[in-house]
Structure 1
Amino acid sequence: MHLTIRRSILVLPLLAGAVPALAQDIDPDAPIVVTAARTALPVNALPLTVDVIDNQTLNQQVAIGGSVVDAVSALTPSFSPTRQKLSGAGETLRGRSPLYAINGIPQTAPLRDGARDGFTIDPFFVDRVEVIYGSNALQGIGGTGGIVNQVTAGPPRQDGISGRVLVQGNADTGFHGDGIGGKAAGLLGWRGGRFDAMVGAAFEKRGVFYDGHGDRVGTDLTQGETQDSRSWSLFGRFGYAVSDTARLDLMLSRFELKGDGDFVAANGDYTKDIPTTSVRGTPPGVPATNRTESVALTYTDSALWGGNLMLQAFFNRSRDTYGGEIAPIATFQDASIAPIGTLFDQSQNRSRKFGSKFSYERQIPGLEALTATVGLDLLFDKTEQRLIATDRTWVPPADYRSLAPFAQFNLALLGDKLRLAGGLRHEDVRIKVPDYHTLASYGGGFDVDGGTPRFNDTLFNSGVIVEPVPGIRAYASYAEGYTVPDVGRIARAVNRPGVDIDNYVNIEPIVSNNREIGVEVKRGPLDASAAYFWSTSKNGSLLVQTGGVFEVQRQRVEIQGLELNLSAKTPIPGLVLSTGYAHLIGRTDGSDDDVFSVDRDLDGANISPDRLNLAASYQHGPVSARVQTQFYLSRKFERSPGNWDNTYSFGGYNVTDLSLRYDTGYGALTLAAQNIFDKFYIDYYTQTVRPTDNAHFFAGRGRNFTLGWDYRF
């Protein structure tokens, strides 16, 4: 039975990812190798936490929720409940932002995080998802909360033509005409001798969402929506087997999601628990759009001089357009252009990055118990944010350059019953910001001297794994993660003269320290794990709402949490019961003094609620089914010492989903239902971040159905 595979590994700066294999061809008893871990060692050789969402589980969850982000959130208790919007702002893993990647290619723009990185490829082209938990420097910048690596479909296994076709329809429980959507996708593969190729396309039309009361869910015109939208995705993969052990791969991907612009928001009333809704109308300006293009050329050789070589060069470009509005008045208004309160504008993030990854791993001759890795990562990124209606600069076009050599060692002792791992990564970072002029709303508008701040830091990690008998393991680890704050938000929010970017303290990088201990039992019908972690950063980065937009504050952050997971096969053939629980505590320093202490809770924009997951899965012959419930537990926040403001508290809610699948022999039929009991709720982000904002008082999506036919040949 294909289930989410859970293992524990140490997240270390190791080898760059190997060429992914097709999930449906993996031997379930073979050692699991996670490509995002950047090593050929199996996961039981490394200590920390990883989830691998295999192909069947991913397709099942995407049919329920519609996206990879929804799939990861549903299966991962320490991941925030999704906002069900195009923006992922406020969605965290272990209380920090995850790094989204496609085959190891970072999708996040580090200089100006537009929070659109969860929607950069259609899930139809994703073979599996690797979720690596906790702060680490594995992929370089980002990933202070973990890594969500989307591994695309692998090359065809046999000569000839193969492929896949998917047709889906989606409707709300009332089958409203504007709530109906659909999807069509195809992937065609060919292999002949040493050459192979795969090309595919996907198109999806999403209807408007309805809540548990049968009303339209409110539209977020500025940040963007997945409801009432269309997306197009193109994918190509071309490979050549240089030898029996060496391979060259070219991957190309283009994704665009654009709002249809058929609805505008109608304010709710938070005092009466009436959510914001949507009414027919034409939003001003250009609809919110997300467009991403990626290219990667990868060369691997699994037997070069007795070791494993990986070389990769990549290019990624994104253009994120946000919806326009006259509000927030405090941000876009400028009396020199138009009377205050009348000026319309909208912003657009423009980012491009290119880089390369090199790594070589092998056992040390004469000391085969020791595996060594050396490598070098290069990353160049240029990002700016413009106001496209008036052609103004909101965030100047900043450049980011990172050079990062690393080395790693893994030593097996006592017949692999004991392993020691450790290594380091040196980050040499340069950020170049030109001179620029701020918007009038920030202190009247003035010139800011640009600069070229540089940072150097060596990031360490270490770990120990004890496996006295196969299937029972305990581990402890320490790993440092690295990222920069949202430089764009910081630069645009400068509100006083005399600031020099070269020595502006708010630009300094974020180094997070992740410590973790855990145990895993995987024997017979039982698959269980428990992990406790605590993560700190002396100069962290928080999103704080100011004047209708979110800006960055640099504060000390401390997070700790407990994660429990249990899965058991029952005496009923094919029936598996599972549960997961996460408890998180996040604290930060809310004072302006120089004392490094934490005196208040992280809010809902920065940490997720505690959660309990329950699920039952069944597979026998051509039939498979799953029912799952996520219980998001209530929480109050200490907003300042002794101040427990109930306005920003979270009341909790639960959502139950269902999936049924039958393999006809001529394709598989799937019927999935999200929120099967049509539960009405106000979403977590709204309750904890914007509970008094009638224009953004959003309800969650009610019951909706997806019927699909999936044929492989």
Structure 2
Amino acid sequence: MRPRPLARAVALACLAHVPAWGQEAPDEPLAEVVVTATRNAKSVDKIPGAVSVITPRELETQYLLADDPSAALATYVPGYAPSRQKISSTGESLRGRTPLILLDGVPQSNPLRSGSREGYFADTAIIERIEVINGASAIQGMGATGGIINYITKRPRTAGTEYTVNARVSNQFRHDSLDWKTGVSVAHKAGDFDVFAYASVQRRGMAYDGTGRLVGIDALQGDTLDAGGQDLFVKLGRDFGDQRVQLTVNRFYFRGRSDYRTVPADFLRGTPTTSAPGAPPGNPPRNDVRTATLDYRHAALFSGSFTAQLFSQDFTALFGGSNTSTFQDVRLAPLGQLYDQSEIHADKYGAKVTWVRPDLLVPGLEWTLGIDHLRDRSGQRMAATNRTWVPTLDFTSTAPFVQLEYEAGPVTIRGGVRRESAHLKVDTYTTLWAYGGFTVQGGERSFDKAVKNIGAVWRFAPKWSAFLSSSEGFGLPDVGIVLRGVNRPNQSVDQLFDLQPVITRNQEIGVNWRGARGSAGASFYDSRSKLGTVMRINAEGLGVLDRVPTTVRGWEVSGEVRVTRTLAASAAYAKTMGRTALAAGRPMDVALGARSQAPDKLVLAANWTPLPKTQLRVQATRLADRDINIGRTSGPVNLEEHFRGYTLADVAGTVDSRWGRFGFGIENVADRHYIGYYPQSVNFKDPLSYFAGRGRTFSASYTRQF
């Protein structure tokens, strides 16, 4: 908690985006931006930290370009890494660390056995806004070592019944490049009762890069290309005076179609991974996610606000088939001839209880008291042969917390502590033949840790505020990778060093300005883990988890200005500098690789209302060159990474008419040919995953309300 790195900081802060352009006159003050990811609705001007809120209009515009939540995060959140344009989110970090993903406060992340497939859990059309709390946090539970990303779903806002039909298509006007999605929603609000329901179907075709070559399909990890799915979402609510009961259910299903196979890259000729017609081995990869939530709120319980949430989530991710060396077992088939595919299954259920009481004991002092409980059962099996790759991880956590906030004139002070009491149980299991087929004795591990936070916001002048914060996050390493990789005899779960928790401390300082014509700010942060996790790819292409200290420092600046009543311009820049060590006790002189750290990023945009009921956005994203760890190795593995940056420009717009809203988008307007950041940078160049990005892509949408 000591703020020594902050004493060296000279910084200024990242603030939430202003509302949709053209909605307010230039001489009117900006509307207050409120977030709920802090467990209690708070104005961003009273939160000591960097907060981003992606508004409904911003989401709508970004989804015209790419129906991909990670693309929206990469555009509007300075510290978020570039989108992979795949169903896999490997390398999509937040400020060099892993964020905790929530849907209305329900955890969607699977930190015990990630698989990097948690980014696709709901249709984008049900999302009203996205709240992002940057930096380590424990307020929402385990896994937020990089921050919190909370997706807030829609609900009826006006009385009456409203039907909405929406459709989206995109095309590159080449063979089998058509994407389409259609959905229908019903929003009904009558008296104390309301309901929002949505159903959609989508089908995604193939993509072509800037040279007209088919983009490679990731047949192993899963892909958004040559795929399709559906979503069914229902939210029911009833108010009883100061009380409200709400039930939310979402079923999301997305799977590949297996019409294309992967064609390996040819590094000598300089051609990336491509695709060709043909079925890859095994069943198509898929995501199957079911989430249910029961919420209760009492706005005046013992002079405070009480909320309780019961939730469950059932997550299944099937990966593609392969005859990789990891899957081989000479007892089942000759070496190299065994094709198999893995499947991650994670069951979560739990409860969250929060009570907020202002002016308790001391005038101006607000108390937030609560307790969370989580039960997580995760595992990974070989789907074709029913072998155990990762045994069932039975994890339970109970965490009481207290958060205090004191407001004295222009100063708001917030601080709190959360006690994480967690227990992990694993039964005895046998590793795959490729790891030696060793029997690992089951066991139990317990973790008990108090994670703290403290910060202050000073509104030192009209429209200006500064903040200082120090916060901790609690997480566990990817337990599944640790356990499945045991390759020595006589090991037991309760003795493995690599299962120790990850405690991340984030310290930050910044200043914000919010005026009638826009907002601006910048921040500097220092994030440290004495016992962090670094995933390195070894010479065989397998992931190896190293437990070494990690430090990530960075700064972010952003701003938006209303040039006229109809024109607004914005800019955001983020620089991330992560370091680690080759081994515990060694110097911190190794740069974090592409799996953990994004390149420096600049986003420029202009929003224009040329005519009434029209909106136009032009944006450009620049990713800077990055060359790291020159000449450095870790055993037989070369740690060098090289990235040649690129600039991509997009344009999108909407027109409102009496027949509905028409939208259009052009992604990668210049038809730039480029290799994505992660496949271009990662030290182990896999010919099956050296993917180019999409070339110029046209899209159109239509929305009609009745």
- Give 1:641 shift: 5.6
Residue 639 of structure 1 contacts residue 645 of structure 1 at CA under 8 Å; is this kept in 2?
A: no
Residue 252 of structure 2 contacts residue 289 of structure 2 at CA under 8 Å; is this kept in 1?
A: yes
SS in 2 for 1:223: coil
Which residue of structure 1 lines up, in the alignment, with residue 162 of structure 2? 162
- Give 1:270 shift: 1.9
Superposed CA offset, 1:57-101 (max 9, x none): 101111112111111112223211111111101110100111111
The yes-or-no answer on 1:390 pairing with 2:382 is no
Residue 662 of structure 1 contacts residue 668 of structure 1 at CA under 8 Å; is this kept in 2?
A: yes
SS in 1 for 2:268: helix
The yes-or-no answer on 1:578 pairing with 2:570 is yes
Residue 36 of structure 1 contacts residue 149 of structure 1 at CA under 8 Å; is this kept in 2?
A: yes
- Give 1:192 shift: 2.6
Q: Specify which of 489, 508, 511 is matched with residue 516 of structure 1.
A: 508
Which residue of structure 2 lines up, in the alignment, with residue 527 of structure 1? 519
The yes-or-no answer on 1:671 pairing with 2:668 is no
- Give 1:114 shift: 1.8
Within a 5 Å distance, the mapping from 1:187-226 to structure 2 comes to 187-226=185-224
Letter in 2 for 1:579: A
Within a 5 Å distance, the mapping from 1:682-693 to structure 2 comes to 682-689=675-682, 692-693=685-686
Which residue of structure 2 lines up, in the alignment, with residue 492 of structure 1? 484
Residues in 2 aligned to 1:129 and 1:253: alpha-carbon distance in whole angstroms: 17
Letter in 2 for 1:178: D
Which residue of structure 1 lines up, in the alignment, with residue 602 of structure 2? 612
Q: Specify which of 470, 492, 505 is matched with residue 478 of structure 1.
A: 470
Residues in 2 aligned to 1:475 and 1:74: alpha-carbon distance in whole angstroms: 24
- Give 1:596 shift: 5.8
Residues in 1 aligned to 2:428 and 2:464: alpha-carbon distance in whole angstroms: 58
Within a 5 Å distance, the mapping from 1:27-66 to structure 2 comes to 30-66=31-67
SS in 2 for 1:282: coil
SS in 1 for 2:176: helix
Within a 5 Å distance, the mapping from 1:420-499 to structure 2 comes to 420-442=413-435, 444-499=436-491
Which residue of structure 2 lines up, in the alignment, with residue 712 of structure 1? 705
Greater relative contact order (Cα < 8 A, sep 6+): 2
Residue 403 of structure 1 contacts residue 428 of structure 1 at CA under 8 Å; is this kept in 2?
A: yes
Residue 270 of structure 1 contacts residue 691 of structure 1 at CA under 8 Å; is this kept in 2?
A: no
Letter in 1 for 2:321: G
- Give 1:645 shift: 7.3
The size of the alignment, in residue pairs, is: 682
Which residue of structure 2 lines up, in the alignment, with residue 632 of structure 1? 623
Letter in 2 for 1:108: S
Letter in 2 for 1:179: S
- Give 1:43 shift: 1.9
Superposed CA offset, 1:520-557 (max 9, x none): 01123231010000100011112221323323221110
Which residue of structure 2 lines up, in the alignment, with residue 317 of structure 1? 314
Letter in 2 for 1:268: A
- Give 1:41 shift: 3.1
The yes-or-no answer on 1:659 pairing with 2:652 is yes
Residues in 2 aligned to 1:248 and 1:690: alpha-carbon distance in whole angstroms: 51
Residues in 1 aligned to 2:542 and 2:684: alpha-carbon distance in whole angstroms: 15
Residues in 2 aligned to 1:517 and 1:647: alpha-carbon distance in whole angstroms: 32
Which residue of structure 2 lines up, in the alignment, with residue 16 of structure 1? none
Superposed CA offset, 1:588-620 (max 9, x none): 1113xx426412111111110001111111135
Residue 632 of structure 2 contacts residue 638 of structure 2 at CA under 8 Å; is this kept in 1?
A: no
SS in 2 for 1:114: coil
SS in 2 for 1:36: coil
Residues in 2 aligned to 1:411 and 1:8: alpha-carbon distance in whole angstroms: 23
Residues in 2 aligned to 1:553 and 1:387: alpha-carbon distance in whole angstroms: 25
Which residue of structure 1 lines up, in the alignment, with residue 287 of structure 2? 290
Which residue of structure 2 lines up, in the alignment, with residue 274 of structure 1? 271
SS in 2 for 1:709: strand
Within a 5 Å distance, the mapping from 1:389-408 to structure 2 comes to 389-408=384-403
Which residue of structure 2 lines up, in the alignment, with residue 20 of structure 1? none
CA RMSD in angstroms comes to 2.0
- Give 1:28 shift: 8.1
Residues in 2 aligned to 1:314 and 1:205: alpha-carbon distance in whole angstroms: 30
Which residue of structure 1 lines up, in the alignment, with residue 133 of structure 2? 132
SS in 2 for 1:143: coil
Residue 628 of structure 2 contacts residue 640 of structure 2 at CA under 8 Å; is this kept in 1?
A: no
Superposed CA offset, 1:166-211 (max 9, x none): 1111101xx0230011110111122232222221101111110110
SS in 1 for 2:138: coil
Unaligned runs of 5+ in 2: 1-12, 18-22
Within a 5 Å distance, the mapping from 1:490-569 to structure 2 comes to 490-546=482-538, 547-569=540-562
SS in 1 for 2:549: strand
Which residue of structure 2 lines up, in the alignment, with residue 357 of structure 1? 352
- Give 1:305 shift: 2.3
Residue 36 of structure 2 contacts residue 42 of structure 2 at CA under 8 Å; is this kept in 1?
A: no
Residues in 2 aligned to 1:348 and 1:75: alpha-carbon distance in whole angstroms: 33
Within a 5 Å distance, the mapping from 1:84-123 to structure 2 comes to 84-123=85-124
Residue 599 of structure 1 contacts residue 641 of structure 1 at CA under 8 Å; is this kept in 2?
A: no
Residues in 1 aligned to 2:633 and 2:487: alpha-carbon distance in whole angstroms: 31
Per the normalisation by structure 2, the TM-score is 0.94
Superposed CA offset, 1:372-396 (max 9, x none): 1110011100011000111100000
Which residue of structure 2 lines up, in the alignment, with residue 17 of structure 1? none
Give the direction of change, closer, same or farther, for the CA distance of 1:360–1:202 in structure 2 (3 Å limit).
same
Per the normalisation by structure 1, the TM-score is 0.93
Residue 30 of structure 2 contacts residue 516 of structure 2 at CA under 8 Å; is this kept in 1?
A: no
Letter in 2 for 1:204: Q
Residue 537 of structure 2 contacts residue 684 of structure 2 at CA under 8 Å; is this kept in 1?
A: no
- Give 1:366 shift: 5.9
